[in-house]
Every structure is written in structure tokens, then in C-alpha cells.
A and B are shown apart, each in its own frame.
Chain A
């Protein structure tokens, strides 16, 4: 079945339990007792171990590969190269992207070779695959694979890749341009800028980061010769979402692939697609006629997991004399690494630019983006995938504009936000706001953060020789698009089995969707079992990503439950000897209207398995499958507020307060919603203050390739968060649900940067780029150390 959003019946989800209740997670018993099943915990009988030999060079020609010495090492079963792939007809990994450029041209799709043939494109590019009895054997043999490389010139930075003397990485992409894209109305925008009373311009770096889920990637594959089928165990964001691309590379139909995902130790976007290792390990398992296990080491994850962000944006905002926004424009250079992935050309273009106008009424806009190849690890979707980048751009612009024009930043925002009475409101960027109280979120957040008392706290900080800043940002993001397929199947004992194409990786799906089904069908959630992660059970379909699953899977459960109730009414009608149209269903009970005759759902389930009680004998049991495809987004929104203190002598920064007011519509499980926001904030603060993937510009080597060099936020880097939820139900789905997964990191970056710039404002700092490391801050604080220090500012203020 498919739904038309508007035509679906309205459901007042808030009045009925168990939607809206913070039920404890059923996932937690296994996970807190050490009985989770992560990929490394799985072993198959008679398995061999695989290791991937990766390129140490960021760009080089391969002159020869000699595997003979490695083959002779103890315990080695196979040493495989591109030659073996070619012999077996195993293709590259191709996840095509269909975004079109300014002239209607398609973005360049490189595909990703599984093992490099004559050229390596980034440090970490796979070159050979070793299969051995033990991992230690494979490690020893890796030392003996002799690859003769001839180094080629390297480019790792997007701006440098556009220079005329830069090496051209792909002949089909002159100037290293994968895509030259634009949208909006350049003439109207130019006109607005020409007549503007004020123009604010910023150059904004959105630094490259890694997702760093605590569980590394891994693949265990086996091939069943008699059935001609591959079974692939691997952590994903939806087992069904990988079927097609893996099958295509292996040269088989997707029915020949069985993907199993058990517990997933974090994903954040980068486990949504296939990687070369999925295909390589499956292929190796067939060649060796044994199960083969590959687990990435953390160092390997740094050079093979999809990376995130990496934009350089020149952004401008035009305002009239009264502070009304007239136009916004951007020119972005997006560094997508050495190969295109399914998402990388979308993120800085059609994906992210939807958020360019933020929560504001801006009549004219124009965005131009160059999507650029470099000798770096390919970019994948990472939590937000474009939404954080462009929310950051607009919220930085607005804050800078307020500072430059002397407006209070809250007043300036209030003057320009889309108001509830404007809705439905189309921004022109692909967003149509249906609901949301942006100014109310801001007022509530400023109250929660005690903006009133800030001046006093700032003066106190100045007396202690510390700079203190207060900053905030509004956000919105389009969530809940695309689809999930959901099946509800009652078992004869009355238990309900739900299968989802979405996949939890810490989200609590097994709890959340049991709540929805329990609510819709009036059955105890203990009798509901949620299955995910087995492609034979769930079939192909969208996985979890883009903050969509709460919306599309909850709607899927709802629609399938409605179908079950309709069929249940026919069975109940027979049992109650009443006409079908006089059967009413409520709270798990079918009642014949106007009588005291009723039958509970579990009894109807039981009857549905007995042929003689069925209204039609050709369908046994009670089940339904729905395929909810959202036609419209929903828009989680809110306002985050941050207060920082900076020691100008050392550049040390402390986040002293962090407050958030978020609107996620109807929360199915508020505790889990809040948890998602906390985690997102931490990742946003991580990007803003600590995290940075750094490549050496000359060699292309990653300089931040371990947790020793790449700073993930730790517990003592972060504060506790003050959180409040405003609830304005989404109008674009009958449950009123809005997305949540990406919101925290969308809001956190501009929030903390605005606070830091506020702290540094006395020294005329207009902008500071992420990550704001102590070194960067210490440099920015030079005027403070030169005498115009915090106490000096404070005494000036008192005077």
C-alpha cells in the first residue's frame, strides 16, 4: 500500500499511550551485560582471515605488483590483486550519482576500483588482498607484497585542486571538477545586493571530519556452492540497501546475496553504502571456499571509512536599512576526495543548499558549488550531510550581520524568521515549512540559558582574567524523506513480528517501533518483536539515514496496523455474528456496535489461523506490509545557546553552559529523542572545537590518522546539556513526528562559534574557523595579552 500524506486519517498520537512515553530500551540488557553481537564477535566455523594491503602513497602509478614472496609465507591461502578480479569478472563498486550541473551535464562518476590496477588515488586505496589461516599470518605476509610505485604529484586541498598547475586526477574531469552546479536566481540576487543597505561577507571553512563510530567496519562472508549464494555479515544502516551494488559488482542477481547485520556499534551515515571490502571479502570467500573475516583496525578506518564535510564557502548576506534580509548567496568548493560516492556530489549541492535560507524569509538566493576531486579519502554522508554545513553558513552570516549593523542578534532573527502565520511557506530552496515556531524556540532557549544574567557573568569572568561569550543559533532541517518498507506479521500465539528495512545503530528501534505498534493495535509491547538487519527477511529497501526512520517506519507500522485492523474486523464480524461495518476497534478489542459482544485482538489472531473461522479461506493469518513513502519533509527546528570562557593566556576554552530548545514534533520516546540530541551536540562541538582530518599538502599523507592525533571529544571536554522540548506536531505526516538524529550536530557548530566570536568581539574578531583549537584561540587573543585584556575591557564597561 502507499499513502497520500494529506489523505491519511489524522491520528492524535499524544493522547494515547504508549507513544510519548519514555520506555526503557529493551536493547540494553544484552548490551550492558557484554552480550551484544558486534561484527568482531561473530566467528564462522573454518573461517580464514583477510587483510587489505593499502597504498602508502596518495597518488602514484603502479609499475608492478609481486605477490610471490607473500604467497610463500606460512599460513597464506591467497594473495589477490586486480588481475584476479579481472579474471573473475568482478567489477568496481559503482554507486552512481545523478545530480546535474549548470549546463545539465551529469556529475562525473568514477566508481571505486576494488583493488588498484595501475594507479592509486589516495593513501589507503586498496591494492592487494591477503587471505590467511590466522590474522597474524596475513600481517606478516603483507610485509612481503612488493609493489613498485612511481609517485605522482599530489593535491589534497579543494582550492589547490582548482589551480591551473594542479595535477588532473581524472581525464574526464578537467580542472578536477566532478560537478559545476548552481541554483537559485543569480540576477534577482545580484539586484538585491546592488540595492542593499548592508552586505555581510564571510569566508567559512567547514572542516573535514571522520564519523568514528566506536565499532570499526568489518565483513565476514561465506559462499554456499550448492545454492550459489553469498552470505555477508556486516554492520550497515539497512542490510537491504546494500544488496544491489554488491550484487552488481559480484556479477550476480541480488537474490544471490544475503546480508546480515546484527548489533551496529554506531554508524552516523558512513555505514549506509557498500564499500570495496564488502565485495572483496565475498569474492575471497568464494575463491577460497571458506568463510573469510575482515575487521578494520582503527588506523585503517581513518584511511578507508567515508569522511565528512570539507567545504570552503564564500557567503554573503544582503540587508536593507531596517535589517530585513534581501538576499543570500554562496560559492562553495567541496572536496569529495579521490572517487565519487553515491552521496558526495549531492551533499554540497541539492542536499545541503536546501538549508541555505535557514529559518528565514529571504526573497532572493543563489548558490554555486564546485565539487572537486583530490587525493584524499572519499567523502560519504556524515550525520546531516549538507544540512549542518548550510545551517552553519546562514547562522554565521546572520550573527555577523547583527554585529556589523548593531542589531541585537535575537531581534534581527525575530524580524526575519518565517512565522507560523506565514506557513505553509516555501523558501524556494526546496523547503516548504508546514509547522514550527522558530521565534518561540529562540525566546524559550534564551530564557533557559538566562541571557538576562549574562552580562553579570561576563563581568565576573573578566575579573578572573577570562573572556566570556554568549552565542546562539537557530536551525531547521528537512527530514523524513524517502521510504521504509515495514511488515507486521502476527504469530499464532498472538505475538507480533515487525520487520523493518531501517536499521538501528544505537537508535533504539526495537523499543520505538514496538511502542508504535503497541499503540496502534492496543497490544502489550512485550508481545511485539522488531526484526531488522536480515535482507532475506526485510528485502531490499531504504535503510536508516537522513533522520527518516522515526517518520517513515512509524508511519509504515501505522498503515500496516490499519490494514490488519480492517481484516481483523471481518474475522471479528463472523465471530460476533454482526455485520462487518458495525464492528468497532479500539484499544485492542473488536466490539459489535450497540452490543456487549466483543472479541480481543489476540483471539482474532488465533481465529485467523483457523481456516473455518475465516471470511475467505485463501488467506491465513493476520499480516500486512506497507511501504510508506513520504512525499513531504518534516522540519525539526530549534535554538541552541552556548556560553564559553576563554583563557587569553593559554587559548584554553571551556564550554560553561549549553542549552537547547528543540521541536521534534510528537516524540515517540522522549528519552531517546533527547539522547539523540545530546549525541548530535557532542559531534557538532567535536567538529567545532577538536576534530580535523589533516593531510600533508606535499605527500598527501593523513596526519591525523589515529585517536592519538585526531581529537574526539571526551567527557571532560563537554558540559551537561540543558534541554527542553517544544512540540509542534508536523503537519506532513499524521503522527506529527519530526526527525531527530541530525539536529544536534546541525545546531551545535554555529552555536559555539557564535559564542566564541562574541567572546573575542572586543578584539574585532569577526569570524573564526573550525576547529577552534587552543592554538587558534591563543593567536586570536594576542590583543588581550598585549594589554587590552579582559579586565581592561571590564573597567571600560564600568566607566
Chain B
């Protein structure tokens, strides 16, 4: 049986007809060609497929497409705007936080959810938070550095924009 769903995908209202068994990762990759969301394992261990659903990080290989009906979904492709990298993306480049780049989209999406909870995380917090994301290239050293630096940059931008504290909404 096929089911019609509608969602906000990176700011665009979209709809799709999906099978019940279709995974969110497949919906994003196969239907919308958003191939930045990667599939690196089949047991929800690697975290290369992390996206945001209603602002929270989820492993899109462990969620059905029908579950995001009416939700806001944000993928790695939705971060940079007008050709300018998001501060977290820029921090990954600045601190050599990626080598092959396969785990990177999931790492960045996880990192953004971390910053939502811990605007200025220390090293131990970052390392603990990343327990759901595997990287085989970097030894995590530069990923941790990048996330701490990215979080600082986001704070600065927030202050510049004089926007409210992003954590205020979290209970």
C-alpha cells in the first residue's frame, strides 16, 4: 500500500507517495536526490544518515518515511545559504575535521543538535555526544576541535544577530 505524505524539507513544502516500508533515508536519497544523507551500515550504528526532524537529530535509516508526515526535515543540504557555509560546516573545513567526508554530514547534523543542548560544549561533552557517529579516518581529534570551534562561532553569530538564546526553547 502507498501512503501520501507532506513535509517541510529544507524549507520547501514537498509531498511524496511512499510505501509503508520506505525508510526516511531512502525517501531523502531516492525520491528527493538529497544524497548528502549517507547510509554506512545496516544496524543504525554509524550515524552517517543523521538528519533533523522538527529540530532533533535522528538516524534517518531507523525512521520510516511515513513518520515525517507533517514534520520539518532538515538535511545537510539545507545548511549553507547563498553559497556561504554554515559556521559548523566552515569549522569542519578550518580544523580539518574531515578526511573522506562520508561521515561528515551526519557528524555536522549531530553537532548542531549538540549545540542546541550545550551551546558551549567542552571536549568530554562532545565526545560523549558523538557516541552515535562513527568516523574511520580522523581519529575524532579534529572533529572534536571543529565542533567546539563551530559552537563558538555560532554563539558569536547569535550575539551579532542579537537573537534569543537557541536553548531557551528546550525544556
**Which residues of A does B touch, CB under 8 Å?**
24-25, 27-38, 40-41, 211-216, 263-268, 297-299, 505-508, 671-672, 674-675, 678-683, 706-708, 712, 714-716, 718, 720-721, 744
Contact yes or no, B34 A266, CB < 8 A: no
7 A-B Cβ contacts within 8 A? A29-B93, A33-B80, A675-B96, A678-B141, A715-B130, A715-B140, A718-B139
Return the CB mask of B76-97 against A: 1 if under 8 Å, else 0. 1101100001000110111010
B101 / chain A contacts, CB cutoff of 8 Å: 27-28, 30-32, 36, 263, 265, 506
Instruction: Select one of B35, B41, B48, B142 contacting A706, CB under 8 A.
Output: B41
A143 CB, min distance to chain B CBs, angstroms: 16
Residues of B within 8 A of A712 (CB): 134, 136
For B48, the chain A residues whose CB sits under 8 A away are: 214
Smallest CB separation, B60 vs chain A (Å): 13
User: Is the pair A32, B34 in contact by a Cβ cutoff of 8 Å?
Assistant: no
Of all chain B residues, the one with the shortest Cβ separation from A709 is: B43
Q: Kindly state the separation between the CA atoms of A706 and B101 in the bound complex, as whole angstroms.
A: 22
For the complex, give the distance between the alpha carbons of A718 and B147 in Å.
16
Pick from A41, A215, A671: contact of B96, CB below 8 A: A671
In the complex, the answer to whether B100 meets A720 with C-beta atoms within 8 Å is no
Q: Are the CB atoms of B100 and A215 closer together than 8 Å?
A: yes
Contact between chains at A28 and B92 (CB < 8 Å): yes
* Of the residues B39, B99, B140, contact of A506 by C-beta under 8 Å: B99
Q: Which of A37, A265, A681 contacts B100 (CB 8 A)?
A: A265
Task: Give the CA-CA distance A680 to B104 in the complex, in Å.
Answer: 18
Say yes or no: A715-B89 contact (C-beta < 8 A), given A33-B36, A506-B101, A678-B138: no
A707 and B134 in contact (CB under 8 A), knowing A28-B93, A34-B34, A299-B42? yes
Can you add 20 more A-B contacts, CB < 8 Å, to A211-B136, A266-B99, A506-B99? A27-B101, A29-B85, A32-B98, A32-B104, A35-B77, A40-B29, A213-B136, A214-B136, A265-B38, A265-B40, A266-B136, A266-B137, A297-B42, A508-B99, A675-B137, A679-B138, A680-B139, A712-B136, A714-B140, A718-B140
Q: Does B157 contact A (CB under 8 A)?
A: no
Bound CA–CA A675/B127 (angstroms): 18
Bound-complex Cα distance A706 to B42 (A): 8
**Nearest A residue to B133, CB-CB:** A715
Report if A215-B36 is in contact (Cβ < 8 Å); known contacts: A28-B98, A715-B127, A715-B131. Answer: no
Question: Which of the residues B36, B42, B138 comes within 8 Å of A35, measured between beta carbons?
Answer: B36
Cα A213 to Cα B138 in complex, Å, equals: 12
Q: In the assembled complex, how far is the CB of residue B70 from the closest CB belonging to chain A, in whole angstroms?
A: 24
Docked-complex contact A706 and B43, CB < 8 angstroms: yes
Interface pair B77/A707, CB less than 8 Å apart? no
A41 surroundings in chain B (CB, below 8 A): 29, 35
A401 to chain B, nearest CB (A): 30
Contact of A214 among B103, B123, B124, B127 (CB under 8 A): B103
Q: Given that A33-B80, A715-B131 are contacting pairs, would A268 and B40 also be in contact in the complex, using a CB cutoff of 8 Å?
A: no
Query: For residue B37, which residues in chain A have a CB less than 8 angstroms away from its CB?
Result: 34
Chain B residue, CB-CB nearest to A676: B99
Residues of B within 8 A of A508 (CB): 99
Asked if B112 is at the interface (CB within 8 A of a chain A CB), the reply is: no
Q: Which residues of A contact B89 (CB under 8 A)?
A: 32-33
Considering the chains assembled together, what is the distance between the CA atoms of A708 and B44 in angstroms?
A: 9
**A36 cross-chain contacts in B, Cβ below 8 A:** 36, 101-102
B85 CB to nearest chain A CB (Å)? 7
Given the complex of chains A and B, what is the CA–CA distance between A675 and B137 in angstroms? 8
Bound complex: CA of A211 vs CA of B135, how far in Å?
Answer: 12
**B92:A681 contact, CB within 8 angstroms:** no
B48 nearest in chain A by CB position: A214
Residue pair B45, A707 in contact (C-beta under 8 Å): yes
For the complex of A and B, the 9 pairs showing the least CB-CB separation, nearest first, are A34-B36, A31-B101, A506-B99, A682-B139, A265-B102, A506-B100, A34-B76, A707-B45, A678-B139
Are B136 and A38 neighbours in the complex by a CB distance under 8 Å?
A: no
Does A298 contact B40, Cβ atoms closer than 8 Å?
yes
**Bound-complex Cα distance A712 to B76 (A):** 24
A residues within 8 A CB of B45? 706-708
Distance A671 CA – B93 CA, assembled complex (angstroms): 11
Chain B residues, Cβ within 8 Å of A29: 85, 93
User: Looking across the interface, which residue of chain A has its beta carbon closest to that of B145?
Assistant: A720
A707→B139 contact, CB < 8 A: no
- CB pair B136–A683 under 8 Å, yes or no, is yes
B108 within 8 Å of A (CB atoms): yes
Q: Is the CB of A38 within 8 A of B102?
A: yes
Count chain B CB atoms within 10 A of each CB in A211, A507, A682 and give the residue with the most: A682
Contacting pair A266 B102 (CB below 8 A): yes
The answer to whether B75 has its CB under 8 Å from any CB of chain A is yes
Given the complex of chains A and B, what is the CA–CA distance between A764 and B102 in angstroms? Answer: 45
How far apart are the CA atoms of A30 and B101 in the complex, in Å? 9
Question: Is residue B128 contacting chain A, with contact meaning CB distance below 8 A?
Answer: yes
Residues from chain B with a CB closer than 8 A to the CB of A215 are 38, 40, 100, 102
CB pair A715–B36 under 8 Å, yes or no, is no
Residues on the A chain within 8 Å of B65, using CB: none
- For A36, the closest partner residue in chain B by CB is B101
Q: Is the CB of B35 within 8 A of A34?
A: yes
Q: Provide the bound-state CA to CA distance between A33 and B124, in Å.
A: 26
CA of A37 to CA of B101, assembled, Å: 10
Instruction: Report A562 CB to chain B, min CB distance, Å.
Output: 31
B11 to chain A, nearest CB (A): 15
CA distance A214 to B102 in the complex (A): 6
Which of A32, A40, A266 has most chain B Cβ within 10 Å? A32
User: Which chain A positions have C-beta within 8 A of B96?
Assistant: 24-25, 671-672, 674-675
The reply to whether A213 and B100 form a contact with Cβ atoms under 8 Å apart is yes
Q: Report which residue of B43, B85, B101, B139 has the largest number of chain A beta carbons within 10 angstroms of its beta carbon.
A: B139
CB-defined contacts of B24 to chain A, threshold 8 Å: none
| A675 proximity list for chain B (CB < 8 A) | 96, 99, 137-138, 142
**Which residues of the other chain, A, contact B77 by a CB distance below 8 angstroms?**
33-35
Which residues does chain B contribute within 8 Å of A708, judged by CB atoms? 43, 45
In the bound complex, CA of A675 to CA of B42 (Å) = 28
Report chain A residues within 8 Å CB of B115: none
Q: Which residues of A contact B85 (CB under 8 A)?
A: 29, 32-33
- A716 near B130 with CB under 8 A, answer yes
Q: Are B98 and A214 in contact (CB under 8 A)?
A: no
Please pick, from A33, A37, A714, A718, the residue contacting B134 in the complex, using a CB distance under 8 A. A714
- Which has the most chain A C-beta neighbours within 10 Å: B37, B100, B130? B100
CA distance A211 to B136 in the complex (A): 9
B126 within 8 A of A: yes
Which residues from chain B contact A720 at a C-beta distance below 8 Å? 123, 141, 144
Residues of B within 8 A of A214 (CB): 38, 40, 46, 48, 100, 102-103, 134-137
Q: A40-B39, A215-B102, A707-B46 are in contact. Are A32 and B130 (CB under 8 A)?
A: no
Pairwise interchain contact B36-A714, C-beta atoms closer than 8 A: no
Q: How far is the CA of A31 from the CA of B37 in the complex (A)?
A: 11
Q: For the complex, what is the distance from the CA of A264 to the CA of B96, rounded to whole Å?
A: 17
Residues in A neighbouring B43, C-beta threshold 8 A: 298-299, 706-708
Are B100 and A264 touching (Cβ within 8 A)?
A: yes
Q: Which residue of A lies closest to B92 (CB)?
A: A32
Q: For A680, list chain B residues within 8 Å (CB).
A: 139
